[in-house]
A and B are shown apart, each in its own frame.
Chain A
Amino acid sequence: MTTELTKPGEAEYHAAASSSAAPVTVPATNGLLDSIRRNPTTTVVAAALALLALGGILFVDGFTSTQNVETVLRDAAFLGLVAVGMTFVVVSGSIVDLSVVPQMAVAATVATVLRDHGPWISITAALAACLLFSLVNALGTGPLGGNGVIVTLATATAGIGILETFTGGAQYSGGPGLLATIGSSSVGVLPVPFLVFVAVAVLAHLLLTRTIFGLRLRATGTRRAAAKVAGISTSRSLWSAFALCSVGAALAGMILAGYSSSAVSTMSAGYDFMALAAVVVGGTALLGGKGTIVGTVAGVLFLQVLLDLLSLVGLPYHWQQFIQGIVIVATLAVTAVLGRRSAS
């Protein structure tokens, strides 16, 4: 019965897929210009990142030291794993997943507590616990039609409450194991968490741009009602987006626990809005439907390098936050003005 409906839908996917692949055939010289025109925000943030890095290399002592580079890349990896997952939620049109905060802490706690049962059992349990969050989030935003902010606020609040009920707010200390090894070792100057982040980002990029799943997700985010009429299971798209976000948060939480060899319910405070800031600075539209993993990665690196430079320069912590905020506002303002100019 439904085949008649899904068939035109599938045809539409293929049409869209071929049209989105079309820019590839454009000569390489125009390819760069074209991608700049299509993603002004990503271009601005990438340029700002390059400027920051150049300024750091030229003028700031200790910016290029092995230790500093490792710190920046490792911190970028934790934020980046969350932000890459969050990109899927934003693209799906659900605005934000505030419940990444309890998810990171839950994953860290579960993995640390179950450490003695071997890495695979503890990691599977941590992932499963986080996927429960994504189920509730998808139920609230999909079939129940709730706003993403409110739904994930509910799961975030309840999640922290449940976690603290179980742990009593206690801090669990970890020890040697797979996660500790991943968290604290490096390959040359590159920390292993950063390599994990890069691998996840590449997979996520392919998933979002090269698969039917990515196309369906973007269709859902652009106009959910229209996607539904075209035969897409928007509930499934939403759940997949939240599930991918959960996986990102779980990885970040577990590796963070491995690195700091401890887990506590407050360890992930602030990751929700910082990850969202990275996603948005990277040019993903908050209204859904549009967004790139490349932009998110640039946004994450931009925020981390900025924060690192501010502390290297010797600015007190209180002012770092202020300057960081001002720079984010400025970036957003520049892209908003550029976006309007290119539209008119």
Chain B
Amino acid sequence: MNTKNLFSSPLSRCSLLLAAIIVALLVFQPTALGSYGIIAASIVPVWLVAVALVPVLVLGEIDLSVGSTMAVAAAVTSTVSPNLLVGVVCGALAGIVVGIVNGLLVAKVGISSFVATLATQITLYGLALAITSGGPVTLPDQEAAMSFAPPILGQITPAVLVAVAVSVAVWWTMARTHSGRDLFAIGGNRGAARAAGIPVTARTLLAFCVCGGISGLAGVLATIDLGAGSPNLGSTVVMLSIAAAVIGGANLAGGRASVVGAVLGAFALGSISIGLQMGGLDSSAENTVVGVILFLAIILTGQHHSLLQIIRIERARLSRNTSDALAETAR
């Protein structure tokens, strides 16, 4: 019975997956965990964006434009001003503006979020290309950017601390505030939430705003890290961060997603990549392994019940009892 409980929550299954990956790392690449700072720092973009997606995913919506939002924030940060602080603030603001636009398209205009953010993804990538004229733009104030690079707490860099702070803030908002709890209610049953007097439109706007802002921040941090703003910054981050959130137990249909899970998922995916790179495997092998892990995650997490459900339905069908099958489906 105990083992069943261990596997019953998506979060515990995700923790188990992460534990398995860490054990595998310890066995095959003992040196990898010694440089935990490098792992953490390299995960920051996917980590932040995965956390950013949590409020949106809880609603049952999705934001595909997060990668392009990163790119726009990076482009703004590196071009707007010779002063790094101004650039950083403007970059993060750009992310929030993008979030507002996405939120309006979804909540006010009524386009499905997958489609709306697919379109803004294309648009914003174009905008980032246009701002940077297609290539990376070096930050004007390299010295200020470099001052963020050295670790300040063991191997932990400032960027990692920012990611930790953001994660805690989002977790707190989701778990302890009315607005955060509202998101779960809306994702669970939109109609019921509306009937209960929850301002669905305002909450949807808020979720997209948070998502855009944090994605923008991820773009800014990546720009400082690189010393340059590149329009191609976020292209690989989108799918990896959605994958991280899903491995962490997020249900794309809404009502369920967790900040802790998203962070664990990002670490699981990131550790695999770093471990394989340290093992001397090239990016093609890395892609293959990440794809396979993702497929395993589909089996392990989230939709675990569906196999049992299918068996039940088939059984009910074989016993020629249609009403049973209907009841099972409704469950």
B88 at the interface (CB under 8 A from A): no
Contact of B298 with A154 in the complex, beta carbons under 8 Å: yes
Cβ contacts under 8 Å, A336 to chain B: 109-111
**A273 nearest CB neighbor, chain B only:** B118
Q: How many A-B residue pairs have CB under 8 A?
A: 173
> In chain B between 97 and 131, which residues have their CB closer than 8 angstroms to a CB of chain A?
105, 109-112, 114-116, 118-127, 129-130
Give the distance to chain A from B154, nearest Cβ to Cβ, in Å: 32
Contact of B298 with A140 in the complex, beta carbons under 8 Å: yes
A169 at the interface (CB under 8 A from B): yes
Cβ contacts under 8 Å, B302 to chain A: 146
**B291 nearest CB neighbor, chain A only:** A158
**B231 nearest CB neighbor, chain A only:** A318
Give the distance to chain A from B106, nearest Cβ to Cβ, in Å: 10
Contact of A273 with B122 in the complex, beta carbons under 8 Å: yes
Quick one: given A158-B295, A159-B291, are A322 and B118 in contact (CB under 8 Å)? no
Contact of A154 with B294 in the complex, beta carbons under 8 Å: yes
Give the distance to chain A from B220, nearest Cβ to Cβ, in Å: 21
**B239 nearest CB neighbor, chain A only:** A153
Give the distance to chain A from B257, nearest Cβ to Cβ, in Å: 13
B9 at the interface (CB under 8 A from A): no
Contact of B120 with A164 in the complex, beta carbons under 8 Å: no
Contact of B115 with A165 in the complex, beta carbons under 8 Å: no
Contact of B111 with A332 in the complex, beta carbons under 8 Å: yes
Quick one: given A164-B284, A329-B120, A336-B111, are A229 and B322 in contact (CB under 8 Å)? yes
Instruction: Give the interface size bracket for A toward B.
Output: 35 or more
B243 at the interface (CB under 8 A from A): yes
Contact of B122 with A325 in the complex, beta carbons under 8 Å: yes
Which applies to chain A's interface (DSSP): helix, strand, loop or mixed? helix
Contact of A146 with B298 in the complex, beta carbons under 8 Å: yes
A321 at the interface (CB under 8 A from B): yes
A145 at the interface (CB under 8 A from B): yes
Task: Out of A1, A153, A154, A332, name the residue touching B119 (CB < 8 Å).
Answer: A332
Contact of A324 with B122 in the complex, beta carbons under 8 Å: yes
B326 at the interface (CB under 8 A from A): yes
> In chain A between 128 and 166, which residues have their CB closer than 8 angstroms to a CB of chain B?
136, 140, 143-147, 149-151, 153-165
Cβ contacts under 8 Å, A136 to chain B: 295
Query: CA A332 – CA B284 in complex, angstroms?
Result: 37
A312 at the interface (CB under 8 A from B): no
Give the distance to chain B from A97, nearest Cβ to Cβ, in Å: 14
Contact of A321 with B126 in the complex, beta carbons under 8 Å: yes
Task: Out of B116, B242, B290, B306, name the residue touching A149 (CB < 8 Å).
Answer: B242
Count the B residues whose beta carbon is within 8 Å of the partner chain — how many? 58
Query: CA A154 – CA B246 in complex, angstroms?
Result: 12
**A322 nearest CB neighbor, chain B only:** B126
A320 at the interface (CB under 8 A from B): yes
Give the distance to chain A from B239, nearest Cβ to Cβ, in Å: 5
A15 at the interface (CB under 8 A from B): no
Give the distance to chain A from B67, nearest Cβ to Cβ, in Å: 11
Contact of B295 with A332 in the complex, beta carbons under 8 Å: no
Contact of A144 with B122 in the complex, beta carbons under 8 Å: no
Cβ contacts under 8 Å, A318 to chain B: 126, 129-130, 133-134
Contact of A321 with B129 in the complex, beta carbons under 8 Å: yes
A-contacting 9-mer, from B166-174, B188-196, B310-318? B310-318
A51 at the interface (CB under 8 A from B): no
B292 at the interface (CB under 8 A from A): yes
Task: Out of A144, A156, A326, name the residue touching B298 (CB < 8 Å).
Answer: A144
Contact of A328 with B123 in the complex, beta carbons under 8 Å: yes
Contact of A144 with B134 in the complex, beta carbons under 8 Å: no
B285 at the interface (CB under 8 A from A): yes
Cβ contacts under 8 Å, B289 to chain A: 161
Quick one: given A150-B252, A319-B126, A332-B115, are A140 and B291 in contact (CB under 8 Å)? no
A107 at the interface (CB under 8 A from B): no
Q: A324-B123, A328-B123 are in contact. List 15 more A-B contacts (CB 8 A).
A: A98-B239, A145-B306, A147-B252, A150-B294, A157-B291, A158-B294, A161-B286, A161-B289, A161-B290, A316-B130, A325-B122, A332-B111, A332-B115, A333-B111, A339-B110
A-B contacts, 17 listed (Cβ < 8 Å)? A1-B318, A2-B320, A5-B322, A144-B307, A147-B303, A158-B295, A161-B285, A161-B287, A164-B284, A229-B322, A276-B118, A280-B118, A286-B114, A287-B112, A317-B134, A319-B126, A322-B127
